[in-house]
Chains A and B, each alone.
Chain A
Amino acid sequence: QKEVEQDPGPLSVPEGAIVSLNCTYSNSAFQYFMWYRQYSRKGPELLMYTYSSGNKEDGRFTAQVDKSSKYISLFIRDSQPSDSATYLCAMSVNYGQNFVFGPGTRLSVLP
């Protein structure tokens, strides 16, 4: 079993839809959880990070962590074609150190 798993997709949704992207993990010591967005042929860019359990909102994006279930989610509201990218989750025991990345979910938002 991989330490961090993500549905690889691709996930296709119509413009304006609510998107749910998810990761599961096996290491209960993870405390810091990050979501990166990676456009085709570009490097990843950090979207959001959260510490421990709970929700964090930033504009159209909401990150949710459920440590008891070892499950994290990224919700995108009012999705736009410009959101089409691969979304990577990453997590670590100590912030900024020894990230473990998921394989990424490819999202297409269709106009």
Chain B
Amino acid sequence: NAGVTQTPKFQVLKTGQSMTLQCAQDMNHNSMYWYRQDPGMGLRLIYYSASEGTTDKGEVPNGYNVSRLNKREFSLRLESAAPSQTSVYFCASSPGLTDTQYFGPGTRLTVL
């Protein structure tokens, strides 16, 4: 039981490049989330998916898109990366929206 896994662990992009961050959970959870963590800012919600087939914007969705591929997987895409998107990205999952969230290990992204 791996919990929440994220790939890649590290990534360096140039401004304007695109990439997709992958997240998978094996806990049969319905809800999944993407956060970014910046120094002095705490965790901020980018997008979430209450259940398979639904996605909703969080606090800071601009510049990102998401796909809930199936119940296990929730991906985050940066279409045209900007230096302001340099951050650590965490995926989380929970049985439902009102349940405890379990976090993955994070992806450290640097945009030059």
Interface residues of A (CB under 8 A from B): 4, 8, 41-46, 49, 88, 90, 94-104
Q: CB distance B101 to A8 under 8 Å?
A: no
Does A97 lie within 8 Å of B97, measured CB to CB? Answer: yes
Chain B residues with Cβ under 8 A from A99's Cβ?
A: 43, 45, 101
B42 near A88: Cβ-Cβ < 8 Å: yes
CB closest chain-A residue, reference B88: A41
The reply to whether A103 and B103 form a contact with Cβ atoms under 8 Å apart is no
Contact check, B42 vs A96: say whether CB atoms are below 8 A apart.
no
Interface string of B84-95 (1 = CB under 8 A from A): 000000101010
| Residues of B in contact with A (beta carbons under 8 Å apart) | 4, 39-45, 90, 92, 94, 96-106
Q: How far is the CA of A46 from the CA of B103 in the complex (A)?
A: 9
Extra A-B contacts (19), CB below 8 Å, given A49-B100, A103-B40: A4-B42, A41-B106, A43-B92, A44-B43, A44-B103, A46-B100, A46-B102, A88-B43, A94-B98, A96-B98, A96-B99, A96-B100, A97-B97, A98-B45, A99-B43, A102-B42, A103-B39, A103-B42, A104-B42
Question: What's the least CB distance linking B103 to chain A, in Å?
Answer: 3
Q: A87 to nearest B CB, angstroms?
A: 12
Contacts of B105 in A (CB 8 A): 41-43
Q: Please, which residues of chain A bring their CB within 8 A of the CB of B90? A: 43-44
A-B Cβ contacts below 8 A, count: 50
Q: Which residues of A contact B100 (CB under 8 A)?
A: 46, 49, 96
Q: How far is the CA of A95 from the CA of B94 in the complex (A)?
A: 12
Contacts of B99 in A (CB 8 A): 96
Q: Is B45 in contact with A103, judged by CB distance below 8 angstroms?
A: no
Q: Which residues of A contact B106 (CB under 8 A)?
A: 41-43
A49–B99 CA distance with the chains assembled, in angstroms: 11
Min C-beta distance of A54 to chain B, whole Å: 19
Give every chain B residue within 8 A of A49 (Cβ-Cβ): 100
* Chain B residue, CB-CB nearest to A103: B42
Chain B min CB distance to A72 (Å): 14
Please name the residue on chain B nearest to A5 by beta carbon. B42
